[in-house]
Structures are given as C-alpha cells and as structure tokens.
Copies of this chain bind each other. A is one copy, B any other.
Amino acid sequence: MGSTKLNIHDAENNYLAKVAKVFSHPARVAIIKYISSSDSGCICNDIVKEIGLAQPTISQHLSEIKKIGLLDQSASGKSLSYSINTDKLNACRRLINDFFVKTQVNASS
C-alpha cells in the first residue's frame, strides 16, 4: 500500500504517466523552458539563480528530467552545459499528442 501499482497497468500507460510526471512540477517546467531558451546550452548555476531554489534542489530536478532522456550535457570548463535533446522532446510531444488525439476521437464518437 502507498506506492503506485505499476503491475496492473500496461507499459504504454505507465510510460505516458512517467513522462507526464516530469512536467508535473513547476520548477521542472521552468527549468526546461529556461534551458530551451538559452542559445547554446545552459549552466547549472544560472538555472539556480533563475529559478530561485537551492542548488541541490535544482540538481535533483535536473536528474528527474535526465531520467527520461530529455537533457544532453557536456563539460564546459568546470561547468556543465545542459541542453534539450530535441529528438526526445519531439518524441514526448508525439507520445502525449497521440494520447490526446485517441482520447478526443473516442470521446466525441
């Protein structure tokens, strides 16, 4: 009891929920927007300043976003430069949109 019963759902529903969960916290939404808005990658420290949460909290959110493969990172001096993996972002977009299309079609038929 207490934890989500993943085993009773199919893989498709579990994965959609997993992806949606990444976007289900305003800090992660803000982080993704901020990284996407910076021209050539984005340094963690700048995100900390931008968002207004402590560095470990941002680091934790970044790792949640990384878990679904939405972030690329590359070393840049002693900093890390984060950027959005646009292929993955597109895949997420399609995944979610397909769900809406299917649901919409069903709901209005």
Whether B26 lies near A14 (C-beta < 8 A) is yes
Main SS of chain A's interface residues?
helix
Copies in the complex: 2
Q: A25-43: contact bitstring with B at CB < 8 Å (1 yes, 0 no)?
A: 1111110110111010000
Is A16 in the interface zone, CB < 8 Å from B? Answer: yes
Asked, given contacts A86-B104, A93-B100, A100-B92, whether A24 binds B29 with beta carbons under 8 Å apart, the answer is no
Whether B52 lies near A26 (C-beta < 8 A) is no
Asked, given contacts A8-B53, A86-B104, whether A13 binds B39 with beta carbons under 8 Å apart, the answer is no
Expressed in whole angstroms, the minimum distance between the Cβ of A39 and any Cβ of chain B is: 7
- Alpha-carbon separation in the docked complex, A52 to B92 (Å): 27
A/B interface sample: 15 pairs, CB < 8 A: A9-B26, A9-B29, A13-B26, A16-B23, A17-B24, A17-B25, A20-B21, A20-B23, A32-B103, A33-B106, A35-B107, A36-B107, A89-B103, A90-B104, A93-B104
